[in-house]
Amino acid sequence: MIQVKNYSYYYDKKYDDLLITFNARIPTYSDEVHNNIYLIYSEEDDSVIGTQIMYFKKRSLETLKKYLPRFLFDTVEELKLEVE
């Protein structure tokens, strides 16, 4: 995991899978909000604390913007340039 700007992320090039978490030290659960796009929630208060995006490079920013909260979309948009 790479720690940057209050979040951690891991990008698996082989499987084109991006994982972002803002608080990796608490119990979580996830929910698929769109085909292979997951939001990660805190079990403590049900707040969104991350995302997992499978087939990340194939996703358009428009699709991601539609399904991710603004703070996650901004982070994903920033990372999309780094993993290209």
Write the pLDDT tens digit of every residue in 29-40.
Answer: 999 999 999 999
Q: Length of the chain in residues, anyone? A: 84
**Could you report the per-residue pLDDT of 63-84, keeping only the tens digit for each?**
999 999 999 999 999 888 777 6
Query: Global pTM?
Result: 0.87
- Taking the C-alpha atoms of residue 37 and residue 26, their distance in angstroms, rounded to an integer, is 21
Domain count for the chain, please give it.
1
| CB 73 within 8 Å of CB 62 | no
Domain that holds residue 48: 2-83
Q: For residue 22, what are the contacts with CB-CB under 8 A and spacing of at least 6?
A: 6, 7, 49, 50
